[in-house]
A and B are shown apart, each in its own frame.
Chain A
Amino acid sequence: MSTVDRPPPNGPTAANDQHAANDQNAANDQNAADQNAADQNAAEHNRNTADDQPAALAVELIGITKRFPGVVANAGVDIAVRSGTVHALVGENGAGKSTLMKILYGMQRPDEGTIKVDGEVVEFHSPADAIRVGIGMVHQHFMLADNLTVLENVVLGSEPRAGAGLDFKRARARIKEISGNYGLGVAPDRLVDHLGVGERQRVEILKVLYRGARILILDEPTAVLVPQEVEELFGNLRELKAEGLTILFISHKLDEVLSVADDITVMRRGTTVASRRPGEVTARQLAELMVGSALPVPELRESTVTDRPILQVEGLTVAAPDGRTVLEDMSFTIHAGEVLGIAGVEGNGQAELVEALMGIRPPAAGTVTLRGEDITRLSTRRRREAGMAYIPEDRHRQGVLLEASLWENRILGHQTRPPSVRGPLLDRRGAKADTRRIVDEYDVRTPSIDVFAAALSGGNQQKFIVGREMSGKPVVLIASHPTRGVDVGAQAAIWDHIRRARAEHLAVLMISADLDELIGMSDNLAVILRGRLVSYVDPKSVTPEELGSAMTGAGDGAPAGEVA
């Protein structure tokens, strides 16, 4: 078995230390011979990345190859990261970025190749080894305990001891110091539960810094952030850089990469295909390097909006369990063939709106009407039977049964409708045949329909969900972040499918954090703020910047009201 279970990020053991030391010696000896070749390699790289200033390299990956049985996840990857820079690693899902970062963070061991940190050849057996040489990783999914304070989360696993007890005072002082030095603005005694997404991310960064990291790996840090938070993060990154830290930044949002990175390395199909400076490429060129071909744009051609109202929402109000109003007096109408986009900073009532529309969350007031029929009190199942389809925001939580086969997942949400059931019985043959259809039509990359949904990549899971939800001629599609975490090719395919369904008079409510997607795909675009629709903007003329400021309440879109 070549995969290694992910050990806890902390808690280096004596055995580990010993091991690492031994191996390092061995590696040094062995690598002396390879040194020439490696240097040559690195030199070649420097020509690409650092021609004007041959700064010290913080991290150098030379000829990294990682094979899993039957798959080469990384093949001869060469990357040179200059010290004190932000280095972006871009590539589609499945291009091997994550594997490479896991190797650099000691979670997996390369089959071939050399890792150098600050010029020294190193060999990692666990993240503890990586942490020891100053490498820290901020994962895409936060690993924080909600019910602990920032301080407790930060020290968790490397608690400062004071005799038998814990020295929280010293830890608090250090957190304040780090937070102050790098402008993170994190208060040590706040409960993580009370923090927003951006703040949580800063806590994660702080956690890594607290452990002494000088080289930070950030795995798609902006995936969960809204534009303003992204700007803040980039501000933080620049401060970290100014303090001499090195940042490796994984992303596939190219505009962001161009604005923050000093060097960009593009990966495709497991290897590095190009190194560029932000000044010398456009986002489009980068994207084309990533996919190796031309690119899709979110764009609706001609309007297909009809005057036939499909989904009418009147005065919809939703209260949180604690009595707080999270959605207030919301009214809108979506017509056949219309895509209504909802723009807003995450957490302003989008999730509640979607769940209220799907009957998952009961409204406190208001009505929802589907094709003239009041569905306010109908169960989720009745709504689905009436033609509502749902692409959830979190596919793992609401979209699929991870440990069930694909064809069983085809039945999910269609438990009462053919082709997956016949009367009270499952129609296994029908479900399987229709699963094959989805796999073909939506280009779901899977060897078989019998594998667990968990085995598919996120993009393929998403394509499968879209395909399933588009089955059975829905009249309304509630799409929450339909292309989140999906690679460029899959994104184009999903857009295509939505466009096609729209042309066939599907009414779509689309929520997205991707402003280009919202602007490009919406016929109408409403802004949600603190549980209310505050304004409508014209997707044909609005820019992402204008939309972004409208989302934070600073903009001046048209006052909210019923749009004809």
Chain B
Amino acid sequence: MRLTPRAVLLAIVAPLGALVFAALVCSVILLLTNHSPADTVQAMINSGKRPRIFVNSINSATNYYLSAVAVAIGFRMNLFNIGVDGQYRMAALLAAGFAGATWIDGVPGPLRVVATIALAMLVGAAWAGVAAILKVTRGVSEVISTIMLNAVATYLGQYLLLKLAVPVAGSNNIGTRPITAGGQVPGLAYPGSTSKLYGLIVLAVLVGLVYWFVLSRTRFGFDIRATGLSESAAVASGVSVRRMVLYAMLFSGAVAGLVGMPQLLGSSHSYSLDFPAGLGFIGMAVALLGRNHPAGMALAALLWGVLDNSANSLDVAGVPKEIVAIMQGVIVLSVVVAYELVRRYRVRVEQREVGRALGTTKVPAEVAA
């Protein structure tokens, strides 16, 4: 699509509208529970100004973005990879076990990092591949199989963790053996904050660029989009839908495998019981809000990161931080509706414009005469 002012406006009106609507709903809830919306906003803004919250927001956004891209690859083909969650947890666990192993300490650092990331992608792809194979050979809905694979990943993960784990010093947590300095990806210092920005933020940017390029510039990406827009038309044009399903799931899983990497290689250095879970589901929300668009999802991931990280400061201000979860929920629900409305509107406007440009019936003068 060309970047006309109207196209830009149509692109932003839906998410902005959803945001405003969500803010209104949250204000009403806050007022009903005797809290001041203004104070809440103030508390969130104040916390956002703190360097540490800022860094944490960016870091969260990095995770969310990777997860969103993984989900979006499927979404573009009308495939619902609900299993990003299980895929990244399996990938992070096995990659952590690999990168933390004693024998690997002698391997040069960059090679270790690359091998760790590659392994994570392979594991993610393999985990998604199970669902893909079930779908193309037996016609099993990927929604069902990936949800169930999430549960399998949880329990298999617990079992593997017990096998791989060492106690974490000074707690009753257990985790994989910590990755030594050579296998880590150093963070970027940010003035005023003790936390560092993930080094693998670069990876997230790279994934976004590759995602954009493949989808909009390659034949393969065209086949993916065509299948998503109309499977019957894609088939008639010579696309093998089964093959595309397989590839899309594998790529989605591979990107899902990356979701845990910034955290693993950048800050926790070990997969333990408290490794973040649920990122796969946040990814779906972010992909929806960002319309599967590489830049849109980046903005959505940032928004989500800021909301999540400023939530904690609300407790201090006496506002229940759950209001953020409500806000996120309302945003997702309303944005889905808003996008559909905008889509219909756009199709109609274009039809009308075609009519106008062709002047199908622009003869009122002649008729009136």
Contacts and interface: CB of A to CB of B under 8 A. Distances in A.
Given A69-B352, A405-B1, A452-B347, A415 B361 contact: no
Interface in B185-202: none
B238 interface: yes
B350 A451 contact: yes
Contacts of B240: 379, 381
A198 interface: no
Contacts of A413: 236-238
A398 B229 contact: no
Contacts of B235: 360, 380, 398
Interface residues of B, number: 44
Nearest to A70: B356
B236 A425 contact: no
A450 interface: yes
A454 B354 CA distance: 10
A270 B361 contact: yes
A3 B220 contact: no
Nearest to A405: B1
Nearest to A73: B361
Listed residue (B2, B216, B356, B367) with the most chain A CB atoms within 10 angstroms of its CB: B367
B85 interface: no
Contact of B367 (A271, A381, A414, A428): A271
A445 B361 contact: no
Contact of A455 (B1, B221, B239, B353): B353
A408 B344 CA distance: 20
B232 interface: yes
A26 to B, nearest CB: 25
Contacts of B347: 403, 452, 454-455
Contacts of A269: 360-361, 363
Given A381-B240, A397-B233, A411 B222 contact: yes
Given A75-B363, A75-B367, A450-B1, A445 B226 contact: no
Given A381-B238, A405-B1, A415-B237, A447 B219 contact: no
Interface in A58-72: 65, 67-72
Listed residue (A72, A408, A451) with the most chain B CB atoms within 10 angstroms of its CB: A72
Interface in B306-365: 343-344, 347-348, 350-364
Contacts of B350: 451-452, 454-455
Contacts of A224: none
B219 A455 contact: no
B361 A72 contact: yes
A467 interface: no
A478 to B, nearest CB: 11
B217 A426 contact: yes
Contacts of A67: 364
Contact of A415 (B222, B351, B368): B222
Contacts, number: 156
Contact of B236 (A74, A360, A403): A360
Interface string A387-399: 0001010000111
A426 B224 CA distance: 13
Contacts of B173: none
Interface residues of A, number: 60
A421 interface: yes
A113 to B, nearest CB: 13
B358 A445 contact: yes
A102 to B, nearest CB: 14
B251 to A, nearest CB: 15
Given A397-B232, A397-B233, A401-B230, A76 B354 contact: no
A398 B236 contact: yes
A457 B358 CA distance: 11
A412 B356 contact: no
Contacts of B142: none
Contacts of A76: 367-368
A408 B358 contact: no
Nearest to A99: B361
B294 to A, nearest CB: 17
Contacts of A71: 352, 355-356, 359-362
Contacts of B363: 72, 75, 269-271
A186 to B, nearest CB: 30
Given A71-B362, A72-B361, A403-B229, A379 B238 contact: yes
Interface in A40-72: 65, 67-72
Closest 9 CB pairs of A and B: A447-B357, A381-B238, A70-B356, A270-B361, A455-B350, A398-B236, A413-B237, A75-B367, A380-B238
Given A75-B364, A380-B235, 11 more contacts: A3-B348, A70-B356, A270-B361, A270-B364, A270-B367, A380-B239, A424-B219, A425-B218, A447-B357, A451-B350, A454-B347
Interface of A: 3, 5, 65, 67-76, 94, 96, 269-271, 358, 360, 379-384, 390, 392, 397-405, 408, 411-416, 421, 424-426, 428, 445-448, 450-452, 454-457
23 contacts: A70-B353, A70-B356, A71-B362, A75-B367, A269-B360, A269-B363, A271-B367, A380-B237, A381-B238, A384-B238, A397-B232, A397-B233, A398-B232, A399-B233, A399-B236, A405-B1, A412-B226, A412-B233, A415-B219, A425-B217, A426-B221, A445-B354, A445-B358
